[in-house]
Protein backbone atom coordinates (compact mmCIF):
# COMPACT_ATOMS: atom_id res chain seq x y z
CA UNK A 1 0.00 0.00 0.00
CA UNK A 2 1.33 3.42 -0.96
CA UNK A 3 1.51 6.31 1.48
CA UNK A 4 -0.71 8.28 -0.92
CA UNK A 5 -4.08 7.30 -2.28
CA UNK A 6 -3.40 9.60 -5.21
CA UNK A 7 -0.28 11.21 -6.56
CA UNK A 8 -0.09 13.56 -9.53
CA UNK A 9 3.31 14.66 -10.80
CA UNK A 10 3.79 17.46 -13.30
CA UNK A 11 0.49 17.09 -15.10
CA UNK A 12 -0.13 19.30 -18.15
CA UNK A 13 -3.08 19.14 -20.48
CA UNK A 14 -3.74 20.72 -23.84
CA UNK A 15 -6.68 20.34 -26.22
CA UNK A 16 -4.95 20.88 -29.55
CA UNK A 17 -3.22 24.23 -29.20
CA UNK A 18 -5.27 25.28 -26.18
CA UNK A 19 -3.39 25.04 -22.91
CA UNK A 20 -5.79 23.97 -20.18
CA UNK A 21 -3.81 22.56 -17.25
CA UNK A 22 -0.31 23.67 -16.30
CA UNK A 23 1.95 21.66 -14.03
CA UNK A 24 -0.57 20.24 -11.59
CA UNK A 25 1.02 18.46 -8.63
CA UNK A 26 -1.04 16.83 -5.93
CA UNK A 27 -0.76 14.17 -3.26
CA UNK A 28 -3.78 12.92 -1.35
CA UNK A 29 -3.65 10.76 1.77
CA UNK A 30 -5.93 7.75 2.24
CA UNK A 31 -9.06 8.85 4.10
CA UNK A 32 -9.01 12.46 2.97
CA UNK A 33 -12.09 14.13 1.56
CA UNK A 34 -10.78 16.84 -0.75
CA UNK A 35 -12.92 19.44 -2.49
CA UNK A 36 -11.88 21.15 -5.74
CA UNK A 37 -13.33 24.53 -6.64
CA UNK A 38 -12.51 26.85 -9.51
CA UNK A 39 -14.02 29.06 -12.19
CA UNK A 40 -16.10 27.28 -14.78
CA UNK A 41 -13.98 25.99 -17.65
CA UNK A 42 -10.70 26.03 -15.72
CA UNK A 43 -10.16 22.31 -16.25
CA UNK A 44 -11.59 20.54 -13.18
CA UNK A 45 -13.39 17.89 -15.20
CA UNK A 46 -10.33 17.51 -17.42
CA UNK A 47 -8.27 16.77 -14.32
CA UNK A 48 -10.81 14.21 -13.06
CA UNK A 49 -10.89 12.46 -16.44
CA UNK A 50 -7.12 12.21 -16.39
CA UNK A 51 -7.22 10.67 -12.90
CA UNK A 52 -9.97 8.29 -14.00
CA UNK A 53 -7.74 7.16 -16.82
CA UNK A 54 -10.20 7.74 -19.65
CA UNK A 55 -8.41 10.85 -20.97
CA UNK A 56 -4.65 10.65 -20.40
CA UNK A 57 -2.90 13.96 -19.75
CA UNK A 58 -0.65 15.48 -22.40
CA UNK A 59 2.20 15.26 -19.93
CA UNK A 60 2.75 14.04 -16.40
CA UNK A 61 2.17 10.99 -14.23
CA UNK A 62 -0.71 9.86 -12.07
CA UNK A 63 -0.56 7.10 -9.46
CA UNK A 64 -3.50 5.60 -7.58
CA UNK A 65 -2.20 3.86 -4.48
CA UNK A 66 1.27 3.90 -6.03
CA UNK A 67 0.16 2.23 -9.27
CA UNK A 68 0.44 4.26 -12.50
CA UNK A 69 -2.93 5.13 -14.00
CA UNK A 70 -2.84 4.16 -17.67
CA UNK A 71 -6.55 3.52 -18.19
CA UNK A 72 -9.72 3.01 -16.16
CA UNK A 73 -9.38 0.43 -13.36
CA UNK A 74 -11.09 -0.58 -10.14
CA UNK A 75 -8.60 1.64 -8.29
CA UNK A 76 -10.39 4.83 -9.29
CA UNK A 77 -14.17 5.25 -9.14
CA UNK A 78 -16.38 8.11 -10.24
CA UNK A 79 -19.84 9.47 -9.48
CA UNK A 80 -21.32 11.86 -12.03
CA UNK A 81 -24.05 14.39 -11.52
CA UNK A 82 -26.49 12.45 -13.61
CA UNK A 83 -27.14 9.12 -12.03
CA UNK A 84 -25.53 6.25 -13.80
CA UNK A 85 -28.30 3.82 -12.88
CA UNK A 86 -30.07 1.22 -14.98
CA UNK A 87 -33.81 1.84 -14.87
CA UNK A 88 -34.63 -1.86 -15.22
CA UNK A 89 -32.56 -2.92 -12.18
CA UNK A 90 -33.42 -2.54 -8.50
CA UNK A 91 -31.14 -0.49 -6.26
CA UNK A 92 -29.33 -3.58 -4.99
CA UNK A 93 -28.89 -4.99 -8.49
CA UNK A 94 -27.62 -1.63 -9.71
CA UNK A 95 -25.05 -1.60 -6.92
CA UNK A 96 -24.05 -5.22 -7.52
CA UNK A 97 -23.73 -4.70 -11.27
CA UNK A 98 -20.09 -3.59 -11.27
CA UNK A 99 -19.04 -6.62 -9.24
CA UNK A 100 -20.95 -8.87 -11.62
CA UNK A 101 -19.13 -7.46 -14.65
CA UNK A 102 -15.81 -7.54 -12.90
CA UNK A 103 -15.96 -10.93 -11.24
CA UNK A 104 -17.99 -13.12 -13.56
CA UNK A 105 -17.87 -13.92 -17.26
CA UNK A 106 -20.54 -15.03 -19.70
CA UNK A 107 -19.01 -18.51 -19.54
CA UNK A 108 -19.20 -18.45 -15.75
CA UNK A 109 -22.77 -17.21 -15.77
CA UNK A 110 -23.97 -20.00 -18.09
CA UNK A 111 -21.81 -23.11 -18.01
CA UNK A 112 -20.84 -22.73 -14.37
CA UNK A 113 -24.32 -21.63 -13.38
CA UNK A 114 -24.49 -23.09 -9.82
CA UNK A 115 -21.20 -21.46 -8.90
CA UNK A 116 -22.45 -18.21 -10.40
CA UNK A 117 -25.60 -18.32 -8.28
CA UNK A 118 -23.47 -18.44 -5.16
CA UNK A 119 -21.41 -15.52 -6.34
CA UNK A 120 -24.54 -13.60 -7.25
CA UNK A 121 -25.93 -14.04 -3.74
CA UNK A 122 -22.62 -12.81 -2.35
CA UNK A 123 -22.71 -9.73 -4.63
CA UNK A 124 -26.26 -8.89 -3.59
CA UNK A 125 -25.34 -9.28 0.08
CA UNK A 126 -22.46 -6.83 -0.43
CA UNK A 127 -24.73 -4.47 -2.34
CA UNK A 128 -27.13 -4.37 0.61
CA UNK A 129 -24.20 -3.68 2.92
CA UNK A 130 -23.19 -0.68 0.81
CA UNK A 131 -26.76 0.57 0.47
CA UNK A 132 -26.89 0.43 4.26
CA UNK A 133 -23.75 2.60 4.35
CA UNK A 134 -25.46 5.29 2.30
CA UNK A 135 -28.63 5.10 4.39
CA UNK A 136 -30.73 3.17 1.88
CA UNK A 137 -31.17 -0.17 3.62
CA UNK A 138 -34.93 0.20 3.18
CA UNK A 139 -34.71 0.82 -0.58
CA UNK A 140 -32.82 -2.25 -1.82
CA UNK A 141 -35.74 -3.48 -3.92
CA UNK A 142 -36.73 -0.14 -5.38
CA UNK A 143 -36.27 0.74 -9.05
CA UNK A 144 -34.73 4.11 -10.03
CA UNK A 145 -38.17 5.29 -11.16
CA UNK A 146 -39.40 4.88 -7.59
CA UNK A 147 -36.57 6.86 -6.00
CA UNK A 148 -35.95 10.58 -5.41
CA UNK A 149 -32.95 12.30 -6.97
CA UNK A 150 -31.09 12.20 -3.66
CA UNK A 151 -31.72 8.47 -3.27
CA UNK A 152 -30.55 7.76 -6.80
CA UNK A 153 -27.40 9.74 -6.21
CA UNK A 154 -26.74 7.72 -3.05
CA UNK A 155 -27.17 4.50 -5.02
CA UNK A 156 -24.57 5.86 -7.45
CA UNK A 157 -22.23 6.51 -4.51
CA UNK A 158 -22.73 2.94 -3.25
CA UNK A 159 -22.10 1.71 -6.81
CA UNK A 160 -18.73 3.43 -6.78
CA UNK A 161 -17.63 2.34 -3.31
CA UNK A 162 -18.60 -1.32 -3.64
CA UNK A 163 -15.67 -1.72 -6.03
CA UNK A 164 -13.32 -0.79 -3.15
CA UNK A 165 -11.53 1.90 -5.16
CA UNK A 166 -8.49 3.64 -3.71
CA UNK A 167 -10.11 6.95 -4.54
CA UNK A 168 -13.54 8.06 -5.71
CA UNK A 169 -14.02 11.16 -7.87
CA UNK A 170 -17.21 13.15 -7.57
CA UNK A 171 -17.88 15.68 -10.36
CA UNK A 172 -20.47 18.17 -9.10
CA UNK A 173 -22.31 15.21 -7.63
CA UNK A 174 -25.11 17.10 -5.89
CA UNK A 175 -25.51 19.89 -8.42
CA UNK A 176 -28.84 18.65 -9.73
CA UNK A 177 -30.41 18.16 -6.30
CA UNK A 178 -32.59 20.47 -4.27
CA UNK A 179 -31.22 21.95 -1.07
CA UNK A 180 -32.66 19.36 1.35
CA UNK A 181 -31.30 16.44 -0.62
CA UNK A 182 -28.01 18.17 -1.00
CA UNK A 183 -27.77 18.47 2.77
CA UNK A 184 -28.58 14.79 3.17
CA UNK A 185 -25.71 13.86 0.90
CA UNK A 186 -23.37 16.25 2.68
CA UNK A 187 -24.25 14.48 5.94
CA UNK A 188 -23.39 11.20 4.31
CA UNK A 189 -19.91 12.50 3.48
CA UNK A 190 -19.43 13.75 7.05
CA UNK A 191 -20.38 10.30 8.29
CA UNK A 192 -17.89 8.70 5.89
CA UNK A 193 -15.19 10.98 7.25
CA UNK A 194 -15.92 9.98 10.84
CA UNK A 195 -15.69 6.33 9.79
CA UNK A 196 -12.33 7.08 8.21
CA UNK A 197 -11.09 8.54 11.49
CA UNK A 198 -12.20 5.43 13.38
CA UNK A 199 -10.51 3.19 10.82
CA UNK A 200 -7.27 5.17 11.14
CA UNK A 201 -7.39 5.02 14.94
CA UNK A 202 -7.81 1.26 14.73
CA UNK A 203 -4.92 0.94 12.27
CA UNK A 204 -7.15 -0.01 9.31
CA UNK A 205 -7.10 1.58 5.89
CA UNK A 206 -9.93 4.12 5.66
CA UNK A 207 -12.64 3.16 3.17
CA UNK A 208 -13.49 6.58 1.83
CA UNK A 209 -10.96 8.68 -0.04
CA UNK A 210 -12.74 11.29 -2.11
CA UNK A 211 -11.85 14.04 -4.55
CA UNK A 212 -14.92 16.12 -5.21
CA UNK A 213 -15.58 18.99 -7.59
CA UNK A 214 -18.21 21.43 -6.37
CA UNK A 215 -19.11 25.01 -7.26
CA UNK A 216 -20.44 25.69 -3.77
CA UNK A 217 -17.72 27.18 -1.59
CA UNK A 218 -19.70 26.52 1.60
CA UNK A 219 -20.16 22.90 0.64
CA UNK A 220 -16.47 22.53 -0.14
CA UNK A 221 -15.38 23.83 3.24
CA UNK A 222 -18.13 22.02 5.12
CA UNK A 223 -17.70 18.47 3.80
CA UNK A 224 -13.99 18.37 2.97
CA UNK A 225 -10.97 18.32 5.25
CA UNK A 226 -8.97 20.07 2.53
CA UNK A 227 -9.94 22.53 -0.16
CA UNK A 228 -8.15 22.91 -3.46
CA UNK A 229 -8.69 25.83 -5.81
CA UNK A 230 -7.75 25.77 -9.50
CA UNK A 231 -7.55 28.79 -11.75
CA UNK A 232 -5.58 30.77 -14.28
CA UNK A 233 -5.39 33.80 -12.04
CA UNK A 234 -1.70 33.48 -11.32
CA UNK A 235 1.44 34.96 -12.83
CA UNK A 236 1.86 32.15 -15.40
CA UNK A 237 -1.85 31.86 -16.13
CA UNK A 238 -1.30 32.06 -19.90
CA UNK A 239 0.13 28.54 -19.62
CA UNK A 240 -3.11 27.18 -18.18
CA UNK A 241 -4.88 26.70 -14.89
CA UNK A 242 -3.11 25.16 -11.95
CA UNK A 243 -3.64 24.58 -8.24
CA UNK A 244 -3.50 28.06 -6.71
CA UNK A 245 -5.09 27.19 -3.38
CA UNK A 246 -4.54 24.16 -1.18
CA UNK A 247 -5.36 24.44 2.51
CA UNK A 248 -6.95 22.35 5.25
CA UNK A 249 -10.54 23.12 6.15
CA UNK A 250 -12.36 22.53 9.43
CA UNK A 251 -13.88 19.13 10.05
CA UNK A 252 -17.53 18.90 11.07
CA UNK A 253 -19.30 15.89 12.51
CA UNK A 254 -22.78 15.06 11.25
CA UNK A 255 -24.24 16.13 14.62
CA UNK A 256 -22.48 19.53 14.66
CA UNK A 257 -24.62 22.55 13.82
CA UNK A 258 -24.41 23.53 10.15
CA UNK A 259 -22.92 26.89 10.98
CA UNK A 260 -21.43 28.39 7.84
CA UNK A 261 -20.56 31.63 9.66
CA UNK A 262 -17.69 29.68 11.21
CA UNK A 263 -15.80 29.72 7.95
CA UNK A 264 -16.53 33.10 6.44
CA UNK A 265 -12.84 33.93 6.54
CA UNK A 266 -11.80 30.88 4.58
CA UNK A 267 -14.58 31.43 2.09
CA UNK A 268 -13.43 34.99 1.46
CA UNK A 269 -9.83 33.83 1.17
CA UNK A 270 -10.91 31.24 -1.40
CA UNK A 271 -12.99 33.71 -3.34
CA UNK A 272 -10.05 36.05 -3.63
CA UNK A 273 -7.34 33.48 -4.24
CA UNK A 274 -9.25 31.40 -6.80
CA UNK A 275 -12.06 33.44 -8.35
CA UNK A 276 -10.85 37.06 -8.41
CA UNK A 277 -9.45 37.66 -11.87
CA UNK A 278 -7.92 40.97 -10.83
CA UNK A 279 -5.89 39.34 -8.12
CA UNK A 280 -2.94 37.84 -9.96
CA UNK A 281 -0.46 36.28 -7.57
CA UNK A 282 2.38 33.83 -7.31
CA UNK A 283 0.81 30.45 -8.01
CA UNK A 284 2.11 28.98 -4.77
CA UNK A 285 0.99 31.73 -2.43
CA UNK A 286 -1.97 29.77 -1.04
CA UNK A 287 -0.64 26.29 -1.70
CA UNK A 288 0.28 25.59 1.89
CA UNK A 289 -1.56 22.40 2.80
CA UNK A 290 1.45 20.33 3.89
CA UNK A 291 2.90 23.19 5.94
CA UNK A 292 -0.48 23.94 7.49
CA UNK A 293 -0.84 20.26 8.28
CA UNK A 294 2.46 19.98 10.13
CA UNK A 295 1.62 23.15 12.05
CA UNK A 296 -1.76 21.70 13.00
CA UNK A 297 -0.05 18.51 14.16
CA UNK A 298 2.39 20.54 16.26
CA UNK A 299 -0.39 22.58 17.87
CA UNK A 300 -2.29 19.42 18.52
CA UNK A 301 0.59 17.70 20.28
CA UNK A 302 1.23 20.87 22.31
CA UNK A 303 -2.39 20.90 23.31
CA UNK A 304 -2.24 17.23 24.20
CA UNK A 305 0.86 17.82 26.32
CA UNK A 306 -0.80 20.74 28.10
CA UNK A 307 -4.31 19.46 28.63
CA UNK A 308 -4.11 15.76 28.00
CA UNK A 309 -6.67 15.95 25.23
CA UNK A 310 -6.74 16.63 21.53
CA UNK A 311 -9.25 19.40 21.10
CA UNK A 312 -8.26 20.98 17.83
CA UNK A 313 -10.65 20.57 14.97
CA UNK A 314 -8.80 19.93 11.77
CA UNK A 315 -7.73 17.23 9.42
CA UNK A 316 -5.86 14.41 11.06
CA UNK A 317 -2.92 13.20 9.03
N1 LIG B 1 -12.83 17.50 -25.57
C2 LIG B 1 -12.48 18.79 -25.55
N3 LIG B 1 -11.94 19.36 -26.64
C4 LIG B 1 -11.57 20.66 -26.64
N5 LIG B 1 -11.69 21.47 -25.60
C6 LIG B 1 -12.23 20.97 -24.48
C7 LIG B 1 -12.65 19.60 -24.39
N8 LIG B 1 -13.13 19.37 -23.15
C9 LIG B 1 -13.02 20.54 -22.49
N10 LIG B 1 -12.49 21.50 -23.28
C11 LIG B 1 -12.17 22.89 -22.87
O12 LIG B 1 -11.21 22.82 -21.84
C13 LIG B 1 -11.49 23.75 -20.81
C14 LIG B 1 -11.67 23.03 -19.49
O15 LIG B 1 -12.87 22.25 -19.51
P16 LIG B 1 -13.38 21.44 -18.24
O17 LIG B 1 -12.32 20.54 -17.78
O18 LIG B 1 -14.67 20.82 -18.60
O19 LIG B 1 -13.60 22.62 -17.19
P20 LIG B 1 -14.41 22.64 -15.79
O21 LIG B 1 -14.79 21.25 -15.46
O22 LIG B 1 -13.48 23.27 -14.81
O23 LIG B 1 -15.60 23.53 -16.03
C24 LIG B 1 -12.72 24.52 -21.27
O25 LIG B 1 -12.29 25.69 -21.90
C26 LIG B 1 -13.37 23.59 -22.26
O27 LIG B 1 -14.08 24.32 -23.22
MG1 LIG C 1 -16.65 20.34 -15.11
The protein residue whose alpha carbon is closest to atom 14 in ligand 1 is: 43
pLDDT tens digits, one per residue of 79-111: 988 778 999 999 999 999 988 887 766 666 666
Contact 43 CB / ligand 1 (< 6 Å): yes
Looking at 127-131, 192-196, 199-203, 305-309, which range is the least confident one? 305-309
Is the separation of the CB atoms in 87 and 145 below 8 Å?
yes
The protein residue whose alpha carbon is closest to atom 2 in ligand 1 is: 15
Please indicate whether residue 271 or residue 117 has the higher confidence score (pLDDT): 271
Q: Could you tell me which of 237, 238, 248, 249 has the C-alpha nearest to residue 283?
A: 237
For 1-75+166-317, give the CATH class. alpha beta
Helices (H) and strands (E) in the chain, counts: 9, 11
**Is the pLDDT reported for residue 112 higher than 80?**
no
Q: For position 1, what pLDDT does the model report?
A: 77
Compute the distance from residue 45 Cα to the ligand 2 centre, in Å: 4
In the chain, CATH 3.40.50.300 sits at: 1-75+166-317
Report the distance separating Cα 36 and Cα 112, nearest Å. Answer: 46
pTM over 0.85: yes
Q: Which residues contact residue 19 at a Cβ distance below 8 angstroms, ignoring those fewer than 6 apart?
A: 12, 238, 239, 240
Q: Which ligand is nearest to the CA of 42?
A: 1
The protein residue whose alpha carbon is closest to atom 10 in ligand 1 is: 15
Amino acid sequence: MSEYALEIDGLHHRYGETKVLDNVNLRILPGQIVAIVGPSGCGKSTLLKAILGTHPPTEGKIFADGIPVTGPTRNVGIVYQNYSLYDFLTAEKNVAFGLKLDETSLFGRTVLFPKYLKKKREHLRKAREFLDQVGLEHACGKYPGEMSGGMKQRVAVAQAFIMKPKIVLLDEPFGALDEAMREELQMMLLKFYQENLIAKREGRRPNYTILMVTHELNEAIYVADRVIGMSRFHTEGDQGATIVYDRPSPVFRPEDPRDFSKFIEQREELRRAVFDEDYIKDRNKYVTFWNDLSKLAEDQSMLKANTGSAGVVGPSP
